[in-house]
């Protein structure tokens, strides 16, 4: 039986109290992992060593995945998690305290909203939304239901990045007027896959969820959905949130007022829709800017960040190590000592126990703002023009065509509500 949204609102308070009934007497946090592909499997690996956290349930519309992941958990812990294909049954389980969400992008926000309405705390992988509207509603739900809500921009937990940002916030390179980032995707052609009957192991209706119903083909399940607009957000939405989040954190920015984007799908013709090469510039109200470059074809250049300030330049490498060069010096400053990395899942569990968001360094609103940059860049790319954006109203200025892309038409019953 499908639980209606009306019933969810009615039981939200009771479920919240029930899901916190362990607090004090029992510190064990019982999690459900929703989506057990590559990221969900990473969640399992990272959660298993965390003290007093139990992976109590696994959810995926692909039954093969849950069975394989359950075998891993049984081997490591001696306990078998509950297996489900439909996340809604997990939301009705009062023994589940929180969920981690590693579904396809187009399911992230709705899964989290439903979970919070049912009294669960949430950890949501990046991008935390499929469009700007969903991100706004996600944050609204977290505040309305007073839930612990973490975003999957994990580099905020890395000691090297925390130290680099700490120094920039202390004015080490002066006022930052521009940041640049580069991401090499190294993506090959995905070719063309014919439509075919849905495999018996897959619940296609649940997999498609909020998106328009369409025929099944193997370029959607399981990874290449990233390159189709109905389900993914291209490389900018796939890995872009990690790079944007560090740049935005260091610059202490929320949302831009102007965005431009160019690019294309170069080097081959295949079934995918999103660009494999994309350049984006976000400009803020004070005139400072963030410039992003994503390249999927051949390059030996590694992922990196560069911050340009009125006193100097800070360069961050892919592993988080960084150099600072001040003024017109040619030689970087001496290397600093880096603090240890933290565990984002240990912090999430501690926040659940204490009901204190300070333990979540990548709180969902921060990841939402970084994700929104991706959506802005993709809209500018698809419309092929410079766009003006009003961060207070969360809409484009005088552009009905762009504003139509702030949200999407949802397929019932998988609807992100206007009122959460």
Instruction: Pick the closest to residue 82 from 103, 99, 105 (CA basis).
Output: 99
Which residues are within 8 A (CB) of 178 and not within 5 positions of it... i.e. 6 or more apart? 288, 289, 290, 291, 307, 308
Q: What pLDDT band is residue 333 in, cutting at 50, 70 and 90?
A: very high
Q: Evaluate if residue 24 carries a pLDDT over 80.
A: no
> What is the pLDDT, as a whole number, of residue 3?
43
d(C-alpha 114, C-alpha 37), whole Å: 21
* Range from 18-27, 263-272, 337-346, 397-406 carrying the lowest mean pLDDT: 18-27
Q: What share of the chain is helix, strand, coil (3-state, %, to 5)?
A: 35, 20, 45
| Beta-carbon-side half-sphere exposure of residue 363 (alpha carbons within 13 Å) | 15
DSSP letter string over 218-249? TTTTTTGGGGSTTT--HHHHHTHHHHHHHHHH
Mean pLDDT, residues 15-34 taken together: 64
d(C-alpha 144, C-alpha 141), whole Å: 5
Q: Evaluate if residue 10 carries a pLDDT over 80.
A: no
Looking at residue 180, what DSSP letter applies? Answer: E
Structure tokens given for 360: 């979540």
Q: What pLDDT band is residue 26 in, cutting at 50, 70 and 90?
A: low
Q: Do 31 and 53 touch, CB atoms closer than 8 A?
A: yes
Q: Evaluate if residue 328 carries a pLDDT over 80.
A: yes
Mean pLDDT, residues 38-54 taken together: 96
Which residues are within 8 A (CB) of 266 and not within 5 positions of it... i.e. 6 or more apart? 276, 277, 297
Q: Which domains does the chain have, with CATH numbers?
A: 5-156+346-363 (3.40.50.720), 159-191+215-339+371-397 (3.30.360.10)
- How does pLDDT run across 177-194, given as a tens digit for each residue? 999 999 999 999 999 999
Mean pLDDT, residues 67-83 taken together: 96
> What is the pLDDT, as a whole number, of residue 17?
42
Is the alpha carbon torsion for 379, 193, 69, 94 positive or negative? positive
Is 315 exposed, middle or buried, given 0-12, 13-18 or 19+ CB atoms closer than 10 A?
Answer: middle
> What is the pLDDT, as a whole number, of residue 9?
43
| Tokens 């070719």, residue located | 191
d(C-alpha 410, C-alpha 230), whole Å: 11
Mean pLDDT, residues 367-388 taken together: 98
* Range from 9-13, 25-29, 246-250, 317-321 carrying the lowest mean pLDDT: 9-13
Instruction: Pick the closest to residue 368 from 118, 201, 141 (CA basis).
Output: 141
- Phi and psi at 291, nearest 5°, equal -120, 125
pTM (2 d.p.)? 0.93
Structure tokens given for 400: 């009905």
Q: Evaluate if residue 15 carries a pLDDT over 70.
A: no
d(C-alpha 131, C-alpha 110), whole Å: 11
Mean pLDDT, residues 86-98 taken together: 96
Q: Measured in Å, how far apart are the chain's first and last C-alpha atoms?
A: 22
d(C-alpha 103, C-alpha 207), whole Å: 9
In what helix (H) or strand (E) does residue 261 lie, and over which residues does it extend?
A: strand 258-264
């Amino acid at each position: 039986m499908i639980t209606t949204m009306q019933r969810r609102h009615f039981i939200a308070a009771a479920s919240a109290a029930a899901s916190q009934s362990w607090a004090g007497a029992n510190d064990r946090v019982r999690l459900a992992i929703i989506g057990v592909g590559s990221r969900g499997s990473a969640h399992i690996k990272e959660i298993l060593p965390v003290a007093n956290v139990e992976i109590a349930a696994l959810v995926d519309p692909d039954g093969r995945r849950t069975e394989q992941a359950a075998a891993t958990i049984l081997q490591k812990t001696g306990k078998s998690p509950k297996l489900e294909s439909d996340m809604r049954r997990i939301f009705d389980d009062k023994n589940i305290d929180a969920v981690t969400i590693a579904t396809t992008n187009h399911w992230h926000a709705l899964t989290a909203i439903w979970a919070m309405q049912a009294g669960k705390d949430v950890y949501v992988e990046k991008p935390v939304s499929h469009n700007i509207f969903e991100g706004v509603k996600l944050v609204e739900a977290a505040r309305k239901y007073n839930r612990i809500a973490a975003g999957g921009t994990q580099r905020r937990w890395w000691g090297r990045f925390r130290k680099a940002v700490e120094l920039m916030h202390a004015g080490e390179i002066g006022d930052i007027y521009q940041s640049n980032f580069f991401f090499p995707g190294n993506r090959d052609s995905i070719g063309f896959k014919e439509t075919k009957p849905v495999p018996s192991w897959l619940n296609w209706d649940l997999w498609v969820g909020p998106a328009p119903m369409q025929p099944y083909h193997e370029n959607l399940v399981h990874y290449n959905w990233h390159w189709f607009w109905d389900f993914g957000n291209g490389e900018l939405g796939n890995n872009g949130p990690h790079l944007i989040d560090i740049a935005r954190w260091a610059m202490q920015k929320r949302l831009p007022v102007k965005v431009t984007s160019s690019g294309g799908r170069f080097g081959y013709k295949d079934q995918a829709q999103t660009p494999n090469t994309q350049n984006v510039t976000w400009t803020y109200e004070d005139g400072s800017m963030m410039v992003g470059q994503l390249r999927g074809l051949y390059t030996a250049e590694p992922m990196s960040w560069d911050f340009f300030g009125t006193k100097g330049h800070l360069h961050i490498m892919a592993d988080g190590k960084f150099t600072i060069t001040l003024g017109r010096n040619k030689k970087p400053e001496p290397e600093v000592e880096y603090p240890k990395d933290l565990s984002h899942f240990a912090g999430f569990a501690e926040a659940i126990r204490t009901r204190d968001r300070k333990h979540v360094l990548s709180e969902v609103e921060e990841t939402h703002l970084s994700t929104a940059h991706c959506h802005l860049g993709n809209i500018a790319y698809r419309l092929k023009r410079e766009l003006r954006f009003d961060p207070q109203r969360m809409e484009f200025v005088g552009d009905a065509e762009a504003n139509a892309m702030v949200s999407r038409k949802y397929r019932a019953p998988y609807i992100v509500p206007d009122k959460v």
